Amino acid sequence: MPSFTCAVVSCKNTSRSFLKWNSKICDIHKCTRKEELCTCKPPYRFLPFPTQKFPQLRGEWIRKIRRVDPSTKKPWIPKHFSRVCSIHFVDLAPSASRVPTLHLGYDVPLPKSRRTIKRTVPDPVTAGPVPKVVRADSAEPSVALKVKNVLAESGHDYRISCKCAVSCHCKEAATIIRSLEDEVERLKKLEDKHTFFHSLSDGDISFYTGFPSKTLFQSVFSFIQPKARRLRYWKGAKEAKSNERLLSGTKNSPKKRGPIRKLELVDEFLLVLMRCRLGLLNRDLAKRFGVSPASASHIFFTWINFLAEVLGPCVWWPSKDIVRRNLPSAFRTKEYRNVRCIIDCTEIFIERPRNLYLQAVTWSDYKKHNTIKLLIGITPNGLISFLSDIWCGRVTDKHIVQESGFLNLLENQDTIMADRGFPITEELMMRRASLVIPPGKRGQEQMTRQQVMQTKKVANLRIHVERAIRRLKSFRIIKGTLPWSLIPLSDQIVKVCAALCNMQDPLVA
C-alpha cells in the first residue's frame, strides 16, 4: 500500500496509521486483522479524487475541502496521489453523499491569539534619567565625558523625536554616540577577523605554516597579494566548464573576478598553509575561520593551484658555479667536488582506490601500501633543486629518472650521488656525467676494507637527501595518508611544500 495522507486540513489519518491498525491482533477473532479470519471493518479507507472525466464532481470536492496552496495563496489543486479518507463522507462512503461533508477542518474553532499590547512612547520632557548607552571606557575619556555632560544637561533620549527648544543638545549627543557605536562595531569585526593571525608569534608561524618567521610570512604575502585579489575561486568541475565561455572575452564576461570573499586574503593564505602544515580537515578549518566546510574546500583548491604557480620558481635548478660557491666543506675533496645533485625517490601513502587497476598500479611492494612516488633532487647544501611529477607507486626509480626530464638538466663533468637502487650509469655516461653510489657486494662473500670506507663516505654525504625528505614530510598533509580527493592536486601540494622548505635555513652549512 503506498503512503497516503488525507488531504483534508487538520485530518491526521495516514496510511501508516492504517497499517499499524491492520497489523494488530483483533480482540474478537484473536488474529491479525490482515488475515481472512478477521471480518472486522476498517475504521477508514482512502478514496481518490474524481478524475478529469468528471470535472463538476472534482470541482465540488475541491470546494468542499477549501484547501489553499501556501506558496501561491491560491486554491489547492490535488495531485494523482492525493486521497481523502472515508470519515469525511456520510455512511463512510462517497456513494451516499457523493462529496465530503463531515469534519472538513474549517468548522474547527481557531485558537485564540494573544492580545498585543501597544506601548506608548514616553514623553521626552517627563521622562526619567536616560540609561547609559555607551560605556566610558569604550571611548576616549574626553569624548565619553563630553557625551555624559551633554546627556546630563539635556535629560533626553536621543532615540526618540526631540521636541525641545532650539538650545537642546539632543542631536549633538545622538551624533556622537552613534559614531562611537559604529566605531566599536567596526573594531569588533576587525578584531574577530584578525585575532588569530595577529596573536601568532614567530614560533607559532613556524608551527602553523612552515615559514621560519612572521616577517617572511608577511613579505611573501605582500608579494602575492596583488595577484591574489584577482583569483577566480574553484566551484567544482561543472562550474568550471560553465565559466569557460565567460572567460573567452564575450559580452557576458563578469566585470569582477570571483565572489564576495568571506575571509580576508591573509586568512585564506593562512588557511591553506595550515592545512598543508598540520594536515587539518576542512571541517576543522571551517570552525577555526568561521566559514562553511565547502568554502574551506573551495579556498584550498583555488589557492593551492595559485601558490604552485607563484611559489613554484623557489624550486629551481642552480647553475654549476652557484653550486660550487655554496659547496659545504664535506664535499670539497677531490673526489666529490663535482657533485651537482643528490637524488632519491620518496613515496606518499594514499587511500586505497576502488578501481582494481588503480589498486594494482599504485601498490608498492616496498611499503606494502598504495602509494604515489616522486623523484627529489637536492644540491650539496640541502636546497631542493628538482621535483619530478607524481608517479604510481609501482614504477621503478630508474624509469622515473629516465622519463622525468632530470637527465636533460645535466652538463659535462657533473657528478650525481644516489643509492644502489639507481642503476643509471649508462644514461649518465651518454651525457658525460658520472654516478657515485655505494659499492655493492655482488659476487663477494665480504666487502673489502676499501669498499667499507667508500660506503661510509658516500652514506655520510648521501644522508642529506634523506634529511631533505624528512623536512618535506614535516608537512603532515603528505606525511600521512593522502585522501583520494586530493590526488589531482598532489603535484601542486608537493611543489608548495618544497618551496616552503627552501625558505628555511640550509640543511648543510
Q: What percent of the chain has pLDDT over 70?
A: 75
CA-nearest of 103, 179, 190 to 144 is 179
123 belongs to a structural domain? no
275 belongs to a structural domain? yes
Average pLDDT of span 79-85: 84
DSSP-derived 3-state class of residue 348: strand
93 belongs to a structural domain? yes
- Quick one: cell of 31? 488474529
What pLDDT does 243 receive?
43
Q: What percent of the chain has pLDDT over 90?
A: 40
Phi, psi of 461 (to 5 degrees): -90, -35
154 and 32 share one domain: no
- Quick one: cell of 238? 561543472
The CA radius of gyration of the chain, in Å to the nearest whole number, is 39
Average pLDDT of span 40-55: 82
340 and 465 share one domain: yes
Question: How wide is the angle at C-alpha 222 spanned by C-alphas 221 and 228, nearest 5°?
Answer: 70
- How many domains does the chain contain in total? 4
108 belongs to a structural domain? no
CA separation, residue 265 to residues 137, 179, 193, 285, 292 (Å): 32, 28, 11, 15, 17
What pLDDT does 284 receive?
93
Residue 88 has pLDDT above 80, yes or no: yes
Residue 93 has pLDDT above 70, yes or no: no
Give the DSSP letter string of 352-398: PPSSHHHHHHTEETTTTEEEEEEEEEE-TTS-EEEEPPPEETTS-HH
434 and 353 share one domain: yes
Lowest mean pLDDT segment, chosen from 62-76, 181-195, 315-329, 445-459: 181-195
90 and 162 share one domain: no
Lowest mean pLDDT segment, chosen from 103-112, 223-232, 318-327: 103-112
State which residues form the domain around 180.
Answer: 136-195
pLDDT tens by residue, 111-145 = 555 555 554 544 444 444 544 444 444 444 455 55
Write b or e for each residue in 368-385: b if 16 or more Cβ atoms lie within 10 A of its Cβ, otherwise e: ebbbbbbbbbbbbbbbbb
DSSP-derived 3-state class of residue 221: helix
Residue 332 contacts residue 380 (beta carbons within 8 Å) = no
Residue 332 has pLDDT above 80, yes or no: yes
Whether pTM exceeds 0.75: no
297 and 322 share one domain: no
140 and 52 share one domain: no
DSSP-derived 3-state class of residue 165: coil
344 and 375 share one domain: yes
474 belongs to a structural domain? yes
* Band of pLDDT at residue 69, cut at 50, 70 and 90: confident
332 and 187 share one domain: no
354 and 228 share one domain: no
Residue 43 has pLDDT above 90, yes or no: no
Q: If 0-12 CB within 10 Å is exposed, 13-18 middle and 19+ buried, where does residue 358 land? A: middle
488 and 359 share one domain: yes
What pLDDT does 98 receive?
73
- Which residues make beta-bridge pairs with 342? 378, 417
252 belongs to a structural domain? no
pLDDT tens by residue, 342-392 = 999 999 999 999 999 999 999 999 999 999 999 999 999 999 999 999 999
The region, left, alpha or beta by phi > 0 then psi within -120 to 50, assigned to residue 66 is left
pLDDT tens by residue, 396-424 = 999 999 999 999 999 998 999 999 889 99
CATH number of the domain to which 411 belongs: 3.30.420.10
- Residue where a domain terminates, one of 292, 310, 328: 310
What pLDDT does 168 receive?
56
Interacting residues of 212 by C-beta distance below 8 A, sequence separation 6+: 202, 206, 503, 504, 505
294 and 145 share one domain: no
323 belongs to a structural domain? yes
Most confident of 27-31, 226-230, 302-306: 302-306
Mean pLDDT, the chain, rounded, equals: 79
Measured distance CA(492)–CA(302) in Å, rounded: 11
CA-nearest of 100, 85, 88, 180 to 132 is 180
Phi, psi of 345 (to 5 degrees): -105, 145
Average pLDDT of span 38-44: 77
216 belongs to a structural domain? yes
If one compares 6 and 107, the residue with the highest pLDDT of the two is 6
Residue 107 has pLDDT above 50, yes or no: yes
If one compares 507 and 40, the residue with the highest pLDDT of the two is 507
Residue 52 has pLDDT above 90, yes or no: no
* Other residues' Cβ atoms within 10 Å of the Cβ of residue 234: 17
What pLDDT does 147 receive?
52
Measured distance CA(296)–CA(302) in Å, rounded: 10
DSSP-derived 3-state class of residue 350: strand
What pLDDT does 1 receive?
52
158 and 268 share one domain: no
